[in-house]
Amino acid sequence: MKVRAQRSDAERTVRTILEAAERVLSRNPSAGMEQIAEAAGVARTTVHRRFASRDALVGAMTAWATRQFAEAVAAADPDETPPLVALYQVTANVLRVKIDWQFAMSRAAVDDDPEVARVHADVHEQCDRLFRRAQAGGLIRADVDVDWARRVYYALIHEAAQDTEVNAARVVDTLLGGIGAGTRPLGG
């Protein structure tokens, strides 16, 4: 049991450092390890013991945020849940991650970690299947290019994550207002 408790403590410490790094780097992208350690409430040596360099820390943040992103999509069960419900739930879940991990998620697009790329490819496939199910079910008009619609959806989520006042219903309403097959908006 002592080993499990030590592992839990180490995992909590890593998460605390990652969360502090997100807060600090979101405000100041050039902040150093010392500022991150201070925000995490740990010694700089603790940060260095967990992460060999600032780049390693940013890489760990990106991997962590990417896993949270994938879990957010999976939690909506987009392959089984009715498309409208899944679209709303995926949007709400992803917005939460993108807002909470804005710095790290911005790094995912330029990260060359193969695991990050694989997770994003898996999420892309899930989203593609959801949009195709939505179109087959009449939620999205038959004449809409699903690939284009998905890219527009991604852009809407990206923009919504910049404005914490925008919610999932607004994103889905905006999307379906343009590509929907006469679906009544969630917020209306």
pLDDT at residue 164 in the model: 73
Q: Specify the amino acid at residue 131.
A: F
Q: Which two tokens stand for residue 24?
A: 């600090």
130: left (phi over 0), alpha (psi -120 to 50) or beta: alpha
Q: Which two tokens stand for residue 4?
A: 């499990």
Do 1-51 and 59-179 agree at the fold level? Answer: no
Spans of all domains in the chain: 1-51, 59-179
Q: Specify the amino acid at residue 20.
A: A
166: left (phi over 0), alpha (psi -120 to 50) or beta: beta
What value does the mean pLDDT take over residues 47-64?
92
Residue 1 pLDDT exceeds 90: no
Q: Model confidence over 76-95: pLDDT tens digits?
A: 999 999 999 999 999 999 99
CA 46 to CA 13: how far, in whole Å? Answer: 9
In the DSSP assignment, the letter for residue 146 is H
For domain 59-179, the CATH class is mainly alpha
In the DSSP assignment, the letter for residue 184 is P
Q: Which two tokens stand for residue 39?
A: 């925000």
DSSP lists the bridge partners of residue 25 as none
Q: Is residue 11 a contact partner of residue 26, using CB atoms and an 8 Å limit? A: no
pLDDT at residue 35 in the model: 95
Residue 34 pLDDT exceeds 50: yes
- Please state which of the ranges 108-112, 143-147, 161-165 shows the lowest mean pLDDT: 108-112
Give 188's pLDDT tier (boundaries 50, 70, 90).
Answer: very low
CA 65 to CA 79: how far, in whole Å? Answer: 22
- Please state which of the ranges 40-49, 101-110, 127-136, 168-177 shows the lowest mean pLDDT: 101-110
Q: Model confidence over 94-107: pLDDT tens digits?
A: 999 999 998 998 88
Query: Residue 158's CB: how many other CB atoms inside 10 A?
Result: 12
CATH architecture of 1-51: Orthogonal Bundle (1.10)
pLDDT at residue 10 in the model: 81
